[in-house]
Amino acid sequence: MVPENAAGTARVLCAPPMSAGRRPKLRYVTQVKARPPTFAMFVSKPEEIPVDYQRYLVNRLRDAFGFAGVPIRLLLRAGKNPYVKRGRR
């Protein structure tokens, strides 16, 4: 199972909690390091993902890939906004 499918399955089983009337969108996840297993998850608003939901996602990744007893790091990152001007031309 690839990390994207594991994150999609976790999102279907239990959606992220609402914050300010909206749900943060889980875009995609990728493995960025092998020792220890480190995953980067791109979300719309990483500061609004509660710690208990982060723990839930780590446990779903652990179940999907058989990382029993292995510490897993989860990095939440915001994607780049294509509508923000980078500089004056």
Q: Structurally, what CATH architecture does the domain formed by 3-15+23-78 represent? A: 2-Layer Sandwich (3.30)
Whether residue 86 is predicted with pLDDT greater than 80 in this model: the reply is no
Q: Which positions ≥6 away from 66 have C-beta within 8 Å?
A: none
Tell me which DSSP letter residue 14 carries: S
Q: What residues are paired with 75 via a beta bridge? A: 40
pLDDT digits (tens, 9 = 90+) for 26-75: 888 899 999 999 999 999 999 999 999 999 999 999 988 899 999 999 99
Domain boundaries, the chain: 3-15+23-78
Tell me the torsion sign for CA atoms 63, 41, 71, 37: positive
CA distances from residue 26 to 23, 32, 65, 88 in whole angstroms, order as listed: 9, 17, 19, 31
Q: What is the pTM of this model?
A: 0.78
In terms of pLDDT, which residue wins out, 89 or 68?
Answer: 68
